[in-house]
Each structure stands twice: as structure tokens, then as C-alpha cells.
Chains A and B, each alone.
Chain A
């Protein structure tokens, strides 16, 4: 079945370490997104990509980095520069032009900094 796969589901990190969250989709979607979810807040956009080898910062990109070397893959690295990285991270994709398609989400990755 087509969908979005995120891994790992749970991740623990020591302060000062970089971690990379994986996001793979087999929906043949052009647009991919990374969101951060914190309690009591709506999803906030970290980065997005419309096409391979191109990506743009979202509203809260500081301390994060991404790559889009393949259409199916959009990994997110949480760097040591991110001041408050403990959160739930969701990857999403949509077809066609930005904001005109239905959103598909992965199961999420919960990052805890010890």
C-alpha cells in the first residue's frame, strides 16, 4: 500500500548530538513537509520541498536541516543548535502544486533529549 514511512518512532538523544529522522514516501508526490507538534499548539512547519534538490525554510527552521536528493526521501536532521528539540515530528506529502492537494502524513517520530 502507498504511504509515508517515518523512522524511528521513538528516539532519545543526549544534548549536543545531531539526530536524523527518516521520511520515505511511495505515493509519487512532489511536495514533502516536516512539521513539529508540541502540546497545545498546532503543527508548525519546519521545512518543505516542492521538487528534488530544492527545499525551503518554514516558520521554525532554525536548528534543523534537510535534504531532498530523491523524490521519495526527505530526511530531517535535528542539530545541536536546536534549543528545544524534544517534540513530536511529522512528515507529510501532497500531490501536485503546493496547497492544492490532500495531505498525507506519516506515523510520526517522538524525539526526547535527555
Chain B
């Protein structure tokens, strides 16, 4: 069982559509991260949040601590938004190997012009 589950795994949208990617987690966390992985493989941090909501441009991230759930929204989607979006959590209690971050398997988004 994965500590972090994302849905959907794959998503295809028309340019301009509103997109939602969901993340659920099962461990106690100190923060949740949304990451974007480009086709070349590099990863960029989009958001780090521990409560409420954050907004950068067309991207909005929300988190509900009680329900252990977060969503990433993209408004007015564009082909340049095509990437893999990864949810990760910073755990409040480390694993026995000292691991502090758990990662989802990612959502592959393709936005068609």
C-alpha cells in the first residue's frame, strides 16, 4: 500500500479546460508538496503547503488536513502545462530508515491544443 495515492494516473485535456489532480495520504505530515516533472526528467517544486490554499498564476493547491487530501487545480490549461505532476508529503514522524518524504507515482497530464 502506498502512503501517497494520486488520481488520475493519466489525464488528457483540451486547451482551456479546468484540470484537477487529487492526492490522498495515510501518514501524519508536516507539509505537502506538489512537484512538476518535465519531459526531460527535471523536477520543479510548485507548492509546499501545510494548510488551506495557495495560488501561483493559473495553479491552485488546496489541502484538507482532517481528510488527508489535497488537490492541484490548473485553470485555463495550456499545452505547456503538459508534464507529470507529483504529490509528495513531508512526514511528521520519520520512517525507521530516516526517510522523511513519501512520493506519489505521479499524474501524467497532456493538454491538446
Q: Which chain A residues have a beta carbon within 8 Å of chain B's beta carbons?
A: 33, 35, 40-43, 45, 48, 56-59, 88, 90, 92, 98-100, 102-108, 110
Contacts and interface: CB of A to CB of B under 8 A. Distances in A.
A106 B104 contact: no
A62 B87 CA distance: 26
Given A90-B43, A102-B33, A107-B40, A43 B95 contact: no
Contacts of B40: 107-108
A58 B102 contact: no
Given A42-B2, A42-B103, A99-B90, A59 B41 contact: no
Interface of B: 2, 4, 30-31, 33, 35, 40-45, 48, 86, 88, 90-91, 94-95, 97-106
Contacts of B97: 45, 56-59
A107 B44 CA distance: 9
A59 B42 contact: no
Nearest to B92: A99
Given A42-B103, A108-B42, 4 more contacts: A41-B105, A42-B104, A98-B94, A103-B35
Contacts of A40: 105
A45 B2 CA distance: 14
20 contacts: A33-B101, A35-B103, A42-B86, A42-B104, A43-B101, A45-B99, A56-B98, A57-B98, A58-B98, A59-B95, A59-B97, A99-B91, A100-B30, A100-B31, A100-B90, A102-B45, A103-B48, A105-B43, A105-B45, A107-B40
Contacts of B48: 102-103
B45 A103 contact: yes
Nearest to B87: A42
B105 to A, nearest CB: 5
A56 B106 CA distance: 26
